Amino acid sequence: MGLKIGLSCLILGLGLIILNLTGLCEAGETSSYTRNSNVSDICDMPLDSDVFSVPPGYNAPQQVHITQGDYEGRGVIISWITPHEPGSNTVTYWAPENSNVKSHTDGVVVTYTFGNYTSGHIHHCTIKNLEYDTKYYYEIAGGLGDDATTRQFWFVTPPKPGPDVPYTFGLIGDLGQTHDSNNTLTHYQFNPVKGQSLLFIGDLSYADRYPDHDNNRWDTWGRFIERSAAYQPWIWTVGNHEIDSVPHIGETVPFKPYTHRFFVPFEASGSTSPLWYSIKRASAHIIVMSSYSAFGVYTPQWKWVEGELPKVNRSETPWLIVLMHCPMYSSNAHHYMEGEAMRVLYEPWFVEYKVDVVFAGHVHSYERSERVSNIAYNIVNGLCTPVKDGSAPVYITIGDGGNSEGLAIEMTEPQPSYSAYREASFGHGMLNIKNRTHAHFGWHRNQDGFAVEGDSLWFINRYWKSSVKGAGRATI
């Protein structure tokens, strides 16, 4: 009897130890939410979908989208395509709406071929020296005469950069053109928080999933996003689906469709490539990196990032945000540790300069990390477990826009301690900057009402953290 009792106690003790160790490993939360599955949702919407409609009128401008056109926020790049002939390359703009004084700026027109595809006439027009915090109206035409088809849109310039300027960014990654993609964009547009511009985290049209990367699917995608992108800047990040290299049809120049269709103000920040650049917008300094360009020591991208980070003035733009496509921290089994090489090189800088948040896509799921770093690891010292680090950014993977490859539902187990929340659902994010010290982030899954947050967090700014008193449990 005594032996049985002793064995029972030993087994109980070992069980308690195992439970305690398990508790140490499972620091975060894996959502138990079950998404309604519909196989047809992952298929691209058919070509006759209303969201792909060609605007009426001969040579009518289409695929209209805008992005920031300078470093400070007083410029805008307006882009559009005319399908049949170049038409006019002039943008007419004015403010306020009833103004009789109108300004005109001319742009450039480019075309490209890809296999047996020839693009329409792609227009890019940069307007500079706009007034801050002003609603402008603009008009573009498909021809030069009075009977030319014209279309009119509007946009709002950001407030002048300043430490306590409130501003709201939307976040979408890996969008594609499926039914889920449409739901994501609709949810973003109807979100009551109202994003003022959108940070796009890479993987745009997924045209490369078609035979010979059918570039007609770039055109449908351009018409699909116009309902948002013509009215507010989309800040572009390049992803792997933009590489578009198809040697067997003679297409070996990477990023060819992307770089012809989407102009960005890379030269304004001293960059030598449109694939990495930075902008200031309201109270944020945004650094865009390319996960699929050379990024090793002494490469052009590495040297540019090395020079850009010290330029960030946290007294003017306190929020330091980094965008890249491939995540540095992700506990999803899909694309697991693909960002490790970039993490090893750039994470020490992110900690040194107190980056507030790094947004990535690529993994078709949502995940938010704790503030951790692994800068002590040098491949031989065995210090390969991330540790809590108050100077480190939060890493958010938001590659859940829609795409045509489906959700990445397989997670690594047990959930690592650096992972705070993860869920395999489609959705979008909102980063609502309040002032120099506080910002609110919310993630919205497509299956919920427009105002519902599936995950949320109050950020305390890394640079101004010491001036914040009484931070509660809901902040990081």
pLDDT at 41: 56
Residue 288 lies in a domain: yes
| Cα–Cα distance measured from residue 374 to residue 392, given in angstroms and rounded to the nearest whole number | 10
Of residues 65, 123, 334, 335, which has the active-site annotation?
335
What is the per-residue pLDDT for 416? 95
What is the enclosing helix (H) or strand (E) of 222?
helix 216-229
pLDDT higher at 382 or 204: 204
pLDDT of residue 13: 38
Determine whether 335 is an active site residue: yes
**E strands present in 327-412:** 357-360, 366-369, 372-373, 387-388, 394-398
Q: Which of 103-117, 137-151, 381-395 has the highest mean pLDDT?
A: 103-117
Would 216 be classed as within a structural domain? no
Which band of pLDDT confidence, cut at 50, 70 and 90, is reported for residue 9?
A: very low
What is the separation of C-alpha 161 from the centre of its chain, rounded to a whole number of angstroms? 21
Q: Which region holds residue 256: left if phi is over 0, alpha if psi is between -120 and 50, else beta?
A: alpha
3-state secondary structure of 399: coil
User: How far is the CA of 180 from the CAs of 40, 189, 406, in angstroms?
Assistant: 10, 14, 9
pLDDT of res. 469:
63
Higher per-residue confidence, 380 vs 51: 51
User: Tokens representing 427?
Assistant: 């959705």
- What does the pLDDT read at residue 335? 93
Lowest mean pLDDT among 34-43, 69-78, 178-187, 333-342: 34-43
Instruction: Indicate the pLDDT class of residue 40, thresholds 50, 70 and 90.
Output: very low
- Rounded to whole angstroms, the Cα distance separating 30 from 407 reads 15
For 411, what's the count of Cα atoms within 13 Å in the CB-facing half-sphere? 21
pLDDT over 90 (residue 380): no
Does a structural domain hold residue 325? Answer: yes
Which tokens go with 438?
Answer: 């506080």
- Please give the residue that has the higher pLDDT: either 30 or 27: 30
Tell me the per-residue pLDDT of 206-232, one tens digit each, with 9 for 90 and over: 999 999 999 999 999 999 999 999 999
User: Average pLDDT for residues 249-270, to the nearest whole number?
Assistant: 98
Q: In this structure, what token pair is assigned to residue 420?
A: 């705070």
List, for residues 122-142, the tens digit of each pLDDT value: 999 999 999 999 999 999 999
103: helix, strand or coil: strand
How far apart are alpha carbons 331 and 454 in whole angstroms?
A: 19
Model pLDDT for residues 385-434, shown as the tens digit of each residue = 899 999 999 999 999 999 999 999 999 999 999 999 999 999 999 999 99
In a domain, 177, yes or no: yes
Lowest-pLDDT choice from 31-35, 124-128, 151-155, 198-202: 31-35
Domain span at residue 447 reads: 163-201+274-465
**Structural domain includes residue 421:** yes
**What is the reported pLDDT for 220?**
98
- In this structure, the number of other CB atoms found within 10 A of the CB of residue 119 comes to 19
Does 306 fall in a domain? yes
Are the CB atoms for 430 and 442 separated by under 8 Å? yes
Query: What pLDDT sits at residue 476?
Result: 84
Window from 146-150, 241-245, 329-333 with minimum mean pLDDT: 146-150
CA distance 63 to 21: 54
Residue 14 has pLDDT above 90, yes or no: no
Across the strands, what pairs with 321? 286, 357
Within 8 A by CB and 6+ apart from 460, the residues are 437, 438, 468, 471, 475, 476
Domain total in the chain: 1
Q: What is the pLDDT of residues 172-193, one digit of tens each?
A: 999 999 999 999 999 999 999 9
**Distance, CA of 79 to chain centre:** 19
Predicted local confidence at residue 378, as pLDDT: 76
Phi/psi class of residue 354: alpha, beta or left (left: φ > 0; alpha: ψ in -120 to 50)? left
Q: Check pLDDT > 90 for residue 20.
A: no
**Average pLDDT value for the chain:** 92
Whether 289 has a pLDDT exceeding 60, the answer reads: yes
Please report, for residues 20, 57, 227, the alpha-carbon distance to residue 221 in angstroms, rounded to integers and kept in the order given: 50, 20, 11
CB 399 within 8 A of CB 365: yes
Q: Return the pLDDT at 379.
A: 75
Q: How confident is the model at residue 384 (pLDDT cuts 50, 70, 90)?
A: confident
Instruction: Look at residue 4 and tell me whether its pLDDT is greater than 50.
Output: no
Inter-axis angle of helices 340-352 and 300-308, to 10 degrees? 20
Q: Is residue 369 domain-resident?
A: yes
At residue 34, the pLDDT reads 65
318-341, pLDDT tens digit by residue? 999 999 999 999 999 999 999 999
Is 26 contained in some domain? Answer: no
CATH of the domain at 306: 3.60.21.10
Res. 17 pLDDT band, cuts 50 70 90: very low
Whether the Cβ atoms of residue 35 and residue 425 lie closer than 8 Å to each other: yes
Q: Is the peptide bond before 96 cis (omega within 30 degrees of 0)?
A: yes
Give me 360's structure tokens. 């990535």
Closest to 261 measured CA to CA, from 54, 152, 119, 143: 119
Coil vs helix vs strand at 254 = coil
Residue 15 has pLDDT above 50, yes or no: no
